[in-house]
Amino acid sequence: MERLIGIPRGRMKGSVENSATHRWLTTRVSSAALDLTTDAVTLTRQLVDIESVSRDEQAIADAVEAALAPLPHLTTTRRGNTVVARTDLGHDQRVVLAGHLDTVPVNRNLPSRLDEATGLLHGLGTCDMKGGDAVILRLAATVPEPTRDVTFILYESEEIETEFNGLYRLSQSDPDLMAADFAILMEPSDAVVEAGCQGTLRVEVRTTGERAHSARSWRGVNAIHAAADVLARLAGYEARRPVIDGLTYHEGLNAVGIRGGVAGNVLPDECVVEVNHRFAPDRSEAEAEAFVREFFAGYDVVLTDSAPGALPGLDRPAAAEFVDAVGGGRGAVNPKFGWTDVARFSALGVPAVNFGPGDPMLAHKQEEHVPVEHIERCERVLRTWLGGGTV
């Protein structure tokens, strides 16, 4: 799921760690097997019922590798708990379908539960993003001769720090396995195309003062009061809205935190305003940083985190053909305002889009669920686009 880069989000124990549900799940994991001949919804349930909190993906990676490795039309490679399977048919185009296998910690939302009355599949990871993973696996198994070569990537640890991210590690160890003309990241996008993504950076804007007893405040300088101008500049910010490949991106510059003060009777000598800038993918990280520093000219500005955006690349033939396959043309494509791993492909010169089942607003929530229709639609669209006929 899209996230703010660099925030430490290490593994926490799930709230059902010692519950009967967890004991049941542990039993299921020990003999986990995936049936790639079943329908994508049932396969989603199989994936969801293998607990795979970040840094604990061995069981699910084992199951994915065991399901893909015997398929004769694929070459399967494993790096850690990331599994890559590729066709090699000699086509002049190669595309990547990618999805992460990990989830956030369990929150009383396992095992999976299908509500047939509403057509919703409930459970941890149904939306973010095992519904998309199921589609990837179904296509890998049942489209042996696609009209373009395909690389299927199921990777580990997207939900935590970059150093553990399977795509990041793959880009460092085996960038050739990510090489392609076009990539589709199956993050939840309401089963419509969200192209590229905006970049993100965070800075700390610091004001200084002089400590004094609050009863004699005129003997000091209040650093928190001095931050009023920083906040006023932010309140007056006018968002840049560049059009890229026909898509209108909307930048943002917002205070997301503020800290200062040492005691209830002391004027603070320092105040720090934390600011997040979301910048359109036509700007580099350096250009975005330069803009922020100029915006806060006169203040001490410290960059704490940064990640590049990703251009949509809708002018590439494979991307244009995919948009046509989804239906609705360019008018049905949305810009991606948040950050996702499409940026990792963009850094390698591979244009990428997000296209997956589920509402991204439900990711990480206890009531996470995915419409069955979204899973079926994504599989149907991708199967047709890859020349695999109908389900």
List C-alpha distances in Å: 323 to 233, 315, 316, 332, 377: 40, 10, 11, 8, 14
Q: Do 364 and 158 contact (CB within 8 A), yes or no?
A: no
Task: Round to whole Å and give the CA distance between 137 and 150.
Answer: 12
- CB count in 10 Å sphere of residue 140: 27
Q: Write out the two tokens for 240.
A: 């840049």
The answer to whether the CB of 210 falls within 8 A of the CB of 193 is no
- Cα distance between residue 48 and residue 109, in whole Å: 10
User: Catalytic site residue 2?
Assistant: no
Q: Is 115 a catalytic residue?
A: no
Instruction: Kindly report the number of other CB atoms within 10 A of residue 269's CB atom.
Output: 19
Whether 72 contacts 94, CB under 8 Å: no
Residue 5 phi, psi dihedral angles, 5° rounding = -65, 140
* Catalytic member of 51, 57, 128, 158: 158
Q: Active-site residue among 2, 102, 341, 359?
A: 102
Active site residues: 102, 158
